[in-house]
Structures are given as structure tokens and as C-alpha cells.
């Protein structure tokens, strides 16, 4: 048993690509080992900005010997065939066995292959794994032809302490690495993983990203605590910083208090996005005039220059932000609207100004369906919701769109509900983002998404496969969440029509809607949403399949009732009976080449069980209809439960396929009636399990 | 280094002299600026055209750069419509280019044992040049001090070998080295004597006048005509097998577009179309250049730009 130690050392790998690259290197090497019949104990990958590292333990020193048996031609086959077989298998006639089989006597070649030394195999597997590593973006450098994420400088490859001789990107492997770029740049020799890790630690490199993250988090928390502050948690940012340094050294800096007049969101955005700084809060939970930067250096002067430099840079950034803020406050959102004429929403769907005009109408129309909403306020909020996009601040920091709109709206004297709606109308921006719950905000958030969806649907820009450049799936999911989380009774088809009415589509264009309708798309998104929240998406389909249901809240209520019913003994039983009826019908209708769906002829009903079933069904239909109309799904399910016994009795006692053609047809129509009755509640053929 | 002269990188001119000296020591041809109005040092023929073809090429130069939309009448601390870039191109990119670059920072007084120097992902793409590359922005104590790019394509052609390109934004770098927070305060030459001049002494009036010109006075009808002229002339010169004069016209068209953009007379949709027209010129120049140096094999058509 021996270990493999691998390090690909080069120029800085983008932080966002590091984790994936380490996983890919492990995955590809593992696949190569498996294919070569080389088992191992454990494989672990590490990554720093300058190195990709793989450590595999418990590898055998050589592949196992293998013995392969290959069947050749019959012993009495023509010489040519036998010669070809021997040549192909690399054996002589004498090395072959003759074996009797039921089809005659055949030649069998016994090919014994000795396992190769693991080092030799690795020399082939590893370069292949490197070449297959899928970087999101790759490049060539110098005069080379190899593509890699950035130039590669050296390859450390040791198996059992000996160099695995390989060449990749014109680089020959060796047993050397280097430490930190500035602290320990000289190459040194390595003999095993433990020594490698230890030497690099001494050379100020932490190879494990988890360790770097920990050091950043701990160091930052200590600095914060010492200053009487608390850190604003941001795991994503800490991850990113861990990908920018090999030896993290957190440092605390300050900025001028006067910048605290600028909205905290802006300060935090520029600190995070432009500078990768962590933000801090004071004892009152307010943003503190401090930041934490994480250097990649234990500076000779203790870090004074680094802190001073970062403070200088941040001050310039914040001065910019302050300038934008004071400039922006001089103009009302209303006065910015004409500038939206210059911003194209989509070449075929007009400008943002036009979108806003459509959204105003739609938001006002939506207010009817949102309890507590006021059409005028919703329209006003929609009117202003995109105006901050042409402010200097949002031009500079797109991340604060909406947030700035709220500040500017309040500055203009708009009411809070309008200002909040402007901020929240992009929500939910992702699965973890909160949904707007305030009535005005819900109207505008819905209007934005619905306008987008209807528009893109009409110009045929629908998502396909993994391609969804306009984030339409997210928009539809946003609508679904806003509707469900707020319990909104929104008839989607009507609202689509309203949204459509604001677009100036030609008649033909309206007719041109093909294939997947927007409601189908919503059905798909709802199913995905339900699956992700652990609910039965097949039941949603069972109700969607009936057609005509576009009220998601009602659909969900019906689904929940159905779920409960199917979980009961009656329900499970009725489902079995339904399937039996549907199966018989399918088979018989195919055989007869006709559909048995007319009215049941009572005069042809003979046996008690069929009479009872016909009666039960006809009385149930009316009850179910009434219950559904009243949206009393529990009652509808109870009525269905009452059908179980008559249906069971029918199947127990009555033979459908009798010789009497008239009676057989009538019984098939009775089965059809079972199906039709149950289909009032849901399309049971879509129910899984 | 042999006989390093004692330049004071804490003056604007000393910074330039120190960089020129450093890169001269690395064997670079020290060129003078391209005598055309360009948006960045990359547009100098010494970078765009010489990045094409197989011949080795190492050069460094200062390039005055004009970005009409960035003009702020000299009031914004770090936005100017006319500023300077220091540009280095090395083809093929040497394997120690990062180390050489760090050496240049040391040469202007940025000591890596007390400053935090980082390479942060930043890819580069120029839609007008049909060019792209991968690399970083280099941070010194959180300040972006340079762009570092490995050119992959120019004018739609693969760069083979690959050039390494370094671009230093001189005003910003000088402000950092001098520790001032407005470009106007930069010391241009040795401060503190009768002959001392600040950046404002040298350039403030120009910033004010050119901002006014760019935003308010440029005659747009004339600029549109000149754009069409430059475009036509460029294509005619390409047809005549004269890539270098053709490239001058391409650059002229590019700058005219920038001026029109600053005047706000090009709508969003037209914008993409104009950029596309300049890109076509750049590609035509690249084709003509490669043909002229005898490196264009007829079947090696321009490769489609990658999404990078």
C-alpha cells in the first residue's frame, strides 16, 4: 500500500472555480483508478489560489494480475480463422484449451495479464485526467497549445515517495513545490503528504480551504470582538476570500463616519462587491464605520501600510457612493421616467418605459385579487418601480436596484407602501429570498413577473432545456410563491389575458401561440415547486390534467384533500377499482374500435350490484358537483369514499364481458361512468404509486 | 539591474520613467505613444496588430487614452476624459511574467513584503476589436493597480503564440503611490521648487475644455460623416493591401463613435450596430495584417468569438 500525492501549481485560479476544479480532479482520477482496477482507501482534494492538490491513500503497488478467457472458433474451423484468433489474442495454438460445448468443440485462449506497477498506470491516468478537467473558461499561454485555467508552472506527482514520471502542458513532473508567493518562494523537495502539508504550513500556505475559511471567520470575529463590534455574517463572501489567499490575515480598518449618511446597503455592497471586505455592526445593530479586509500576507511592518492602503481605497469608493447618493437625491423618481425610454427591455418587447406603463395597468388590475390592496397605490408603485435603474447609484452598483428606489421614493414623499413595493418588486429573487407579503408590494411583484412571462411567451422566447437566459422559470416560480404564500385567489388565465392586452401584439401573433402554453409552464413550475417542498407533484398533475383549473390556491386545497383521501383505505381501494375500470375500458374500446361513453340504460341493468352502482354514481355526481362548486373538497372526497362499496361489489359480482352484446355495452358504459365521476375530482390516471 | 537611475516614482513623470526603465531592462522595445486618439493602450498597433502572427514581440509604452464619456470637467477625483496608461506586451508570454510584473511594482516603490498584492480574476473583452483574453486585475492593498491579460484572440483570430499584456492606469497608480486623493493634486515633477508643476497645472484646463467639447460642442453631423469616411477609407486601404494605414482609419472610426456616444446621439440599439461596424473594420485589418506578414493560410478563417 502506498499514497499518491499530486499538486498542480500555477498562476491564480479564479476563486469561483476552485471548489469545482478540486472535485473534478478527484472525480476524474478516481474514475481512472477504477477503470485500471486500482482500489484505494481514501481520496481527498484540496485547493488554493495557486494549487490543485490530490491525496489518495491505500493504493496497491501494482494492479492485480488478471486472467482472461476468450472463446475462439471451433477446432475444425478453417486455418485462417484460427490464425486470426491466435494473432488477435496474442497466444499460440499450444496455449489454447479445447473445450466441449453443446455447440461443438471450441478453442479457448487463456490470456494471463500481469498487473502493471501502479506508478506506470498513474503516469497514464493522471495526464488524461488533467486534460479532461472541465474549466468554465480556459486559455493557452506562451507558445503552448494546452488549455488550462491559467498558466501552469509545475507538477508534483509522487507515488510511494517516488516521482510519477509524466508530462502535461510541456511540464515534466517532479517532487518539488513552492511556498507562499512572497514569504517562501523558493522551491523545495517533498517526499510524502504529511511532510508536504507541514512544509507548506511552515511556508505560509494553508492547503485546505476549510482551514482558511475557519481562520478568516475566527480572526475576523476576534478583531470585531476586540473593537466591541459584531461581524455581519456572510458565508459566501468568506468562501470567496478563502479562494483569494493562501495565508489569510484579517485586518481591521476604519472609514469616515460621515459616510454613514449613505444607505447602509450601498456601503455594504461596495465593501463586499468591489473590495471583498466584511462589514461590522455596532452594539445597536447599526452599521459600524469599520471593515475587515483579509490580506494574504504577514506584513513586515505589522500591516500598517496594508490597512492604510485599504482605508485609502475604500474612502475613494465611498466618496463616489456619497457623490452618487447626494446627486441622485436631487432628482425625483418621477423625473427619471423619460430616461427609461432609452433602456431596452427586449428588442421585440419595447423599452422599460413601455414595460412600466403596462405594469401600472396590470398592478392596478391585480389589486382586485389581493386583499387589502389599493389599485391606485399599486399603480403608483409600478409607475416608479424601475426609475432607480437610471440613477447614478444603481448604474454604478446594480446590486442595489430596488433598495435605492425605496430610499428615493421616501425622499420624494411617496407613502411607505409605495416605497416598500418598489424595493420588494424583484422578490423573490431565488428560493431562499422572501416573498413580498404587503398588498401593494405583492401586486407590483406579480405585475413585473407576469408582464415579462406573457411578453416572452408571445415572442416565442421560452426556456428550453438548461437555457433560460431571461430567468423565466424563476419568474413563474416567483408568481407561484407569491400567490400561494399570500393565499391569493388569482385566476391566472384571466390575468394572462389582462397582461396580454397591454402588449400591442397583432392578431396573428396572438394566434401564433403554439405548443407549451403559459399555463402548462406554470403547471410544470408548480410541480417542481411541490416536489422541492416535499409534496406530491403527481396530484397537481392529476388536477391540472382536467383542464380549466388556474386558481393555484384552490388547486392546492383540492390536492391536499385528494392526498388525504388517497391515504385512506377507501381512497386506496377506490384507486385500485378506478384502474381496473380504466384498464378494462381501454382494452375493450380498442378491441371494439369504439368509445363506450353513452348514458347507461337502466332497463338493461340486471344484477342488484349493477343497479346499486348506477344509483350510487348518479346520486354522487350531483353531490360532487355541488361540493366542488362550494370548494368543499372534504365533502367531495367523502362522497367518493361512499362509492367504494358499490364499486367493489360490482366488480366482485358482475361480469362485464358477457355474451350479450347489449348488456356488455351497458356495463362498459357503467365503467365509463365510474371514470367520469371520479374525474370530476381529479384525473386519477395521473396519480402515481 | 545595471546602474539603476534614481527616478522618483512619487512624481508622475518619475513613475513613468521608472516603469520605462524597468521594462527596457527586460528587453522591451520602448515605444512612444500611438499618434491617434484611442480609448486604451491596447488599441496601439504595437499591441493589437503585433499580438497577431508568430513573430516574437516585446514592447512597452505610455499611451494617452481618451474616453469622452468619462469627462467630469476635472471635478471628479479619479475620472478623466484624457488619461495615461502604461502598456507592456510580451509575445510569447514568458513563464515568469507574473514575477517580472511584481518586479516592476518593486521598481516603483511597492514593496511586496509590506503591501498585499493579489491577482483577482478579471477577464478582458473588447467587442470593438473582436478580442478577448483571460487574466486578472492586480490589487495592491485593495486597489486595482493593473490589468494582466493573456490574449487569446484579436480581430477574431486566435493568438498563437499568446501575448501577455500588462496595463497600468497611471493616474490611479500615481495617486496611490503619492497618497493624494484627487488627480489634480498629483505632483507631475519634483515638488517643492519654483519649477514644480501639479497634474492640474498641466491638464486641468484641458479636462474642462474637452469635457465641454465632448458633451456639448462636438458637431455630431460632422462626426457621423467622418465616421462614414473613416469606415470607407479603412476598407479601401484593406483592399489595397495596406493594413497599417487601414488600422489608423479603424481607430479613427472607433474614437468618432466614442465622441458620438458621449454626445448621447446614439441610441441603445444603434450602439450595438456601431460597435459591430468598428469590429468588422478591426477584423478586416487583422486579416490584411496577417496576409501582409505572410501568415494567413487561406483556409484558416477567423474563428468565431467564444463567449468568454
Give the lowest-confidence range in A252-256, A647-651, B165-169.
A647-651
Would you place residue A506 in the very low, low, confident or very high pLDDT band (cuts 50, 70, 90)?
low
Asked if A313's CB is within 8 angstroms of B141's CB, the reply is yes
The answer, for B117 touching chain A at a CB cutoff of 8 Å, is yes
Instruction: Judge whether A339-513 and A568-686 match in fold.
Output: no
| Test the A interface: residue of B54, B111, B116 with most A CBs within 10 Å | B116
| Separation CA B94–CA B103 (nearest Å) | 14
Query: Per residue in A183-223, pLDDT tens?
Result: 999 999 999 999 999 999 999 999 999 999 999 999 999 99
Taking 70 as the pLDDT cut, the residues of chain B under it are 1-4, 268-269, 297-308
Q: How far is CA A407 from the centre of its chain?
A: 32
Predicted pLDDT at B304: 46
Indicate yes or no: CB of A140 within 8 angstroms of CB of B98. no
Question: Quick one: CA dihedral B288, B58, B7, B140, positive or negative?
Answer: positive
Contact A394, A371 (CB under 8 A): no
Q: How confident is the model at residue A428 (pLDDT cuts 50, 70, 90)?
A: very high
Mutate to test the interface with B, among A50, A136, A142 (most CBs of B within 10 A): A142
What the block records as the C-alpha cell of A49 is 489560489
CA B227-B230-B233 angle, 5° bins: 150
User: Are the C-beta atoms of residues A209 and A19 closer than 8 Å to each other?
Assistant: yes
Mean per-residue pLDDT of chain A? 92
The confidence score (pLDDT) of residue A513 equals: 52
Span A477-488, pLDDT tens digits: 999 999 999 999
Cβ atoms B57, B11 nearer than 8 A: no
- What band does A510 get if pLDDT is binned at 50, 70 and 90? low
Flag the least confident range among A506-515, A576-585, B59-68, B216-225: A506-515
Which of B99, B105, B114, B179 has the highest number of chain A CBs within 10 A, making it the mutation to test binding with A?
B114
Nearest to B112 among A12, A182, A310 (CB): A182
Residue A314 has pLDDT above 60, yes or no: yes
Closest-approach residue (CA) in chain A for B114: A299
Q: Yes or no: say if A140 and B152 are a contact pair by the CB < 8 Å rule.
A: yes
Q: What residues of chain A, 236 to 265, have a C-beta less than 8 Å from chain B?
A: 244-245
Q: Which of B141, B154, B161, B173 to mutate to test the interface with A (most CBs of A within 10 A)?
A: B141
Smallest Cα distance from A278 to chain B, Å: 13
Domains in chain A: boundaries: 2-62+117-202, 67-113, 209-328, 339-513, 568-686
Nearest Cβ partner of A305 from B98, B123, B141?
B141
Strand order in the sheet with A104-113: A66-74, A104-113, A96-101
Long-range contacts of B300-305 (CB under 8 A, 24+ apart): B302/B130, B302/B155, B302/B156, B302/B157, B303/B153, B303/B156, B303/B157, B303/B158, B304/B156, B305/B130, B305/B132, B305/B153, B305/B156
- What pLDDT, on a 0 to 100 scale, did the predictor assign at position A13? 98
What ranges in A593-660 are assigned the alpha helix state H? 608-629, 633-653
Q: Is the pLDDT of residue A507 over 90?
A: no
Cα end-to-end span (Å), chain B:
38
pLDDT at A514: 52
Please name the CATH architecture into which domain A339-513 falls: Orthogonal Bundle (1.10)
CA separation for the pair B123, A649 (Å, rounded):
74
Contact A16 B95 (CB under 8 A): no
Tell me the pairing of strands A152-159 and A167-168: unpaired
User: Which cell numbers hold the place of A579?
Assistant: 384502474
What pLDDT was estimated at residue B71?
86
Residues 160-189, chain A: which have Cβ within 8 Å of B? Answer: 182
Q: How far is A312 from chain B (nearest CA, A)?
A: 8
Residues B142, A295: contact at Cβ < 8 Å?
no
Reported as a single tens digit per residue, the pLDDT across A104-156 is 889 888 888 889 999 999 999 999 999 999 999 999 999 999 999 999 999 99
Bridge partners (DSSP) of residue A111 are A68
**Distance (Å) from the alpha carbon of A151 to chain B's nearest alpha carbon:** 8
Of B78, B115, B133, the CB nearest to A316: B78
Given a cut of 50, whether residue A38 has pLDDT beyond it is yes
| Beta-bridge partners for B169 | B85
SS3 content of chain B, % helix, strand, coil (to 5): 45, 20, 35
Confidence of residue A511 (pLDDT cuts 50, 70, 90): very low
CATH fold, domain A568-686, is Isoleucyl-tRNA Synthetase; Domain 1 (1.10.730)
**Which string of DSSP letters, residue by residue, matches B6-72?**
---TTSHHHHHHHHHHHHHHTT-EEPPPPSS--SSGGGSHHHHTTTSSSS-EEEEEEEEEE-GGG--
Q: What is the CA radius of gyration of chain B?
A: 20
Look at residue A348 and tell me whether its pLDDT is greater than 90: no
The answer to whether the beta carbons of residues B32 and B59 sit under 8 Å apart is: no
Mark out the alpha helices in B41-162 (DSSP H runs).
45-48, 97-107
Q: Which of residues 267 through 326 in chain A touch B, CB cutoff 8 A?
A: 275, 277, 293, 295-297, 299-301, 304-306, 308-310, 312-316, 319, 323
A206: phi then psi, degrees, rounded to nearest 5: -100, 115
C-alpha–C-alpha distance, residues B261 and B266, integer Å: 6
The pTM of this model reads 0.80
Is beta strand B164-169 parallel, antiparallel or unpaired with respect to B82-91? antiparallel
Strands, E assignment, A116-248: 152-159, 162-163, 167-168, 171-172, 176-178, 187-189, 230-231
Nearest alpha-carbon partner for A336 in A417, A390, A278: A390
Choose the weakest-confidence range: A88-102, A243-257, B177-191. A88-102
With contact defined as beta carbons under 8 Å apart, do A343 and A389 qualify?
yes
pLDDT of residue B269: 66
B247 vs B233: CA distance, rounded Å: 10
Burial class of residue A580 in the structure, from the number of CB atoms within 10 Å of its CB (0-12 exposed, 13-18 middle, 19+ buried) = middle
Contact A139 B268 (CB under 8 A): no
Does residue A683 have a pLDDT over 70? yes
A291 preceded by a cis bond (ω within 30 of 0): no
How many helices, marked H, and strands, marked E, lie in chain A?
25, 18
Contact partners, residue B236, CB within 8 Å, separation at least 6: none
**Angstrom distances, CA of residue A369 to CA of A363, A365, A422, A448, A482:** 10, 8, 19, 16, 12
Rounded Cα gap, residues A10 and A181, in angstroms: 11
All cell numbers assigned to B290? 496577417
Amino acid at each position: 500500500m502506498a499514497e499518491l500525492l499530486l499538486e498542480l501549481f500555477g498562476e491564480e485560479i479564479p476563486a469561483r472555480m476552485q471548489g469545482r476544479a478540486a472535485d473534478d480532479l478527484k472525480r476524474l482520477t478516481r474514475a481512472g483508478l477504477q477503470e485500471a482496477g486500482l482500489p484505494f482507501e481514501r481520496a481527498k482534494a484540496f485547493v488554493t489560489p495557486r494549487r490543485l492538490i490530490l491525496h489518495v491513500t491505500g493504493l496497491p503497488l501494482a494492479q492485480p494480475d488478471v486472467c482472461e478467457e476468450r472463446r475462439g472458433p471451433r477446432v475444425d474451423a478453417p486455418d485462417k480463422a484460427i490464425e486470426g484468433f491466435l494473432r488477435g489474442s496474442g497466444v499460440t495454438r499450444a496455449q489454447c484449451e479445447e473445450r466441449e460445448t453443446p455447440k461443438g468443440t471450441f478453442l479457448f485462449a487463456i490470456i494471463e495479464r500481469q498487473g502493471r506497477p501502479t506508478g506506470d498506470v498513474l503516469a497514464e491516468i493522471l495526464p488524461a485526467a488533467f486534460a479532461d478537467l472541465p474549466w468554465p473558461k480556459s486559455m493557452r499561454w506562451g507558445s503552448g497549445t494546452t488549455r488550462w485555467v491559467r498558466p501552469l508552472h509545475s507538477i508534483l506527482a509522487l507515488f510511494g515517495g517516488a516521482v510519477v514520471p509524466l508530462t502535461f502542458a510541456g511540464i515534466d513532473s517532479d517532487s518539488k513545490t513552492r511556498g507562499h508567493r512572497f514569504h517562501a518562494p523558493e522551491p523545495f523537495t517533498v517526499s510524502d503528504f504529511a511532510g508536504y502539508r507541514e512544509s507548506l504550513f511552515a511556508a505560509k500556505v494553508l492547503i485546505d480551504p476549510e482551514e482558511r475559511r475557519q481562520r478568516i471567520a475566527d480572526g475576523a470575529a476576534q478583531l470585531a470582538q476586540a473593537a466591541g463590534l459584531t461581524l455581519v455574517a456572510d458565508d459566501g463572501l468568506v468562501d470567496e476570500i478563502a479562494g483569494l489567499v493562501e495565508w489569510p490575515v484579517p485586518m481591521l480598518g476604519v472609514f469616515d463616519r460621515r459616510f454613514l449618511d449613505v444607505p447602509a446597503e450601498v456601503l455594504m455592497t461596495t465593501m463586499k462587491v468591489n473590495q471583498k471586505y466584511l462589514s461590522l455592526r455596532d452594539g445597536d445593530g447599526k452599521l459600524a464605520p469599520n471593515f475587515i479586509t483579509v490580506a494574504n500576507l504577514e506584513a513586515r511592518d505589522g500591516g500598517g501600510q496594508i490597512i492604510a492602503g485599504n482605508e485609502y481605497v475604500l474612502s475613494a469608493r465611498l466618496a463616489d457612493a456619497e457623490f452618487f447618493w447626494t446627486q441622485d437625491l436631487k432628482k425625483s423618481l418621477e423625473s427619471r421616467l423619460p430616461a427609461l425610454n432609452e433602456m431596452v427591455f427586449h428588442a421585440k418587447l419595447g423599452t422599460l418605459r413601455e414595460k412600466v406603463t403596462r405594469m401600472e395597468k396590470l398592478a392596478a388590475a391585480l389589486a382586485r385579487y389581493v386583499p387589502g390592496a389599493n389599485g391606485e397605490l399599486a399603480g403608483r408603485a409600478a409607475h416608479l418601480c424601475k426609475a432607480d435603474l437610471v440613477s447614478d447609484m444603481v448604474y454604478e452598483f446594480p446590486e442595489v436596484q430596488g433598495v435605492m428606489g425605496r430610499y428615493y421614493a421616501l425622499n420624494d414623499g411617496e407613502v411607505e407602501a409605495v416605497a416598500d413595493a418598489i424595493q420588494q418588486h424583484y422578490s423573490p429573487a431565488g428560493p431562499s429570498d422572501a416573498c413580498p407579503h404587503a398588498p401593494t408590494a405583492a401586486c407590483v411583484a406579480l405585475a413585473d413577473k407576469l408582464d415579462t412571462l406573457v411578453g416572452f411567451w408571445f415572442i416565442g422566447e421560452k426556456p428550453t432545456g438548461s437555457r433560460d437566459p431571461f430567468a423565466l422559470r424563476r419568474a413563474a416560480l416567483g408568481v407561484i410563491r407569491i400567490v400561494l404564500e399570500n393565499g391569493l385567489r388569482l385566476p391566472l388565465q384571466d390575468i394572462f389575458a389582462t397582461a396580454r392586452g397591454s402588449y400591442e401584439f397583432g392578431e396573428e401573433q396572438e394566434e401564433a401561440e403554439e405548443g407549451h402554453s403559459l399555463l402548462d409552464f406554470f403547471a410544470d413550475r408548480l410541480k417542481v415547486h411541490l416536489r422541492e417542498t416535499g409534496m406530491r407533484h403527481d396530484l397537481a398533475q392529476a388536477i391540472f390534467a382536467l383542464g380549466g383549473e388556474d386558481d393555484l390556491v384552490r388547486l392546492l386545497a383540492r390536492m391536499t384533500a385528494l392526498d388525504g383521501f388517497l391515504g385512506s383505505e377507501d381512497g386506496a381501494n377506490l384507486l385500485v377499482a378506478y384502474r381496473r375500470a380504466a384498464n378494462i375500458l381501454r382494452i375493450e374500446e380498442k378491441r371494439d374500435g369504439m368509445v363506450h361513453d353513452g348514458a347507461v340504460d337502466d332497463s338493461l341493468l340486471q344484477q342488484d350490484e349493477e343497479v346499486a352502482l348506477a344509483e350510487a354514481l348518479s346520486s354522487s355526481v350531483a353531490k360532487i358537483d355541488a361540493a366542488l362548486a362550494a370548494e368543499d373538497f372534504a365533502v367531495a372526497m367523502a362522497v367518493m369514499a361512499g362509492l367504494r362499496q358499490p364499486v367493489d361489489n360490482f366488480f366482485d359480482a358482475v361480469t362485464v364481458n358477457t355474451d350479450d352484446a347489449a348488456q356488455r355495452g351497458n356495463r362498459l358504459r357503467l365503467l365509463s361512468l365510474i371514470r367520469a365521476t371520479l374525474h370530476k375530482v381529479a384525473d386519477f390516471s395521473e396519480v402515481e404509486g | 539591474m545595471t546602474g539603476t537611475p534614481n527616478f522618483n516614482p512619487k512624481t508622475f513623470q518619475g513613475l513613468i520613467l521608472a516603469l520605462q526603465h524597468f521594462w527596457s531592462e527586460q528587453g522591451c522595445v520602448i515605444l512612444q505613444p500611438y499618434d491617434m486618439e484611442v480609448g486604451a493602450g491596447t488599441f496601439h498597433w504595437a499591441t493589437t496588430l503585433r499580438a497577431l502572427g508568430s513573430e516574437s514581440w516585446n514592447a512597452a509604452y505610455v499611451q494617452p487614452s481618451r474616453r469622452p464619456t468619462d469627462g467630469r470637467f476635472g471635478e471628479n477625483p479619479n475620472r478623466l476624459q484624457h488619461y495615461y496608461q502604461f502598456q507592456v506586451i510580451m509575445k510569447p508570454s514568458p513563464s515568469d511574467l507574473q514575477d517580472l510584473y511584481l518586479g516592476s511594482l518593486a521598481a516603483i516603490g511597492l514593496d511586496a513584503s509590506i503591501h498585499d498584492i493579489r491577482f483577482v480574476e478579471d477577464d478582458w473583452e473588447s467587442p470593438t476589436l473582436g478580442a478577448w483574453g483571460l487574466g486578472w486585475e492586480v490589487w495592491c492593498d485593495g486597489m486595482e493597480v493593473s490589468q494582466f491579460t493573456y490574449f487569446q484572440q484579436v480581430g477574431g483570430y486566435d493568438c498563437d503564440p499568446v501575448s501577455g499584456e500588462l496595463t497600468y492606469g497611471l493616474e490611479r497608480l500615481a495617486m496611490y503611490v503619492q497618497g493624494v486623493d484627487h488627480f489634480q493634486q498629483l505632483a507631475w515633477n519634483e515638488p517643492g521648487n519654483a519649477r514644480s508643476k501639479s497634474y492640474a497645472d498641466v491638464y486641468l484646463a484641458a479636462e474642462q475644455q474637452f469635457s465641454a467639447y465632448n458633451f456639448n460642442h462636438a458637431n455630431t453631423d460632422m462626426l457621423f460623416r467622418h465616421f462614414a469616411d473613416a469606415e470607407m477609407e479603412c476598407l479601401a486601404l484593406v483592399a489595397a493591401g495596406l493594413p497599417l494605414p487601414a488600422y489608423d482609419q479603424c481607430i479613427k472610426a472607433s474614437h468618432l463613435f466614442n465622441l458620438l456616444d458621449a454626445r448621447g446621439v446614439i441610441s441603445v440599439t444603434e450602439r450595438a450596430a456601431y460597435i459591430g461596424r468598428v469590429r468588422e473594420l478591426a477584423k478586416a485589418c487583422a486579416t490584411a495584417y496577417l496576409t501582409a506578414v505572410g501568415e494567413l493560410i487561406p483556409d484558416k478563417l477567423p474563428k468565431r468569438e467564444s463567449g468568454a
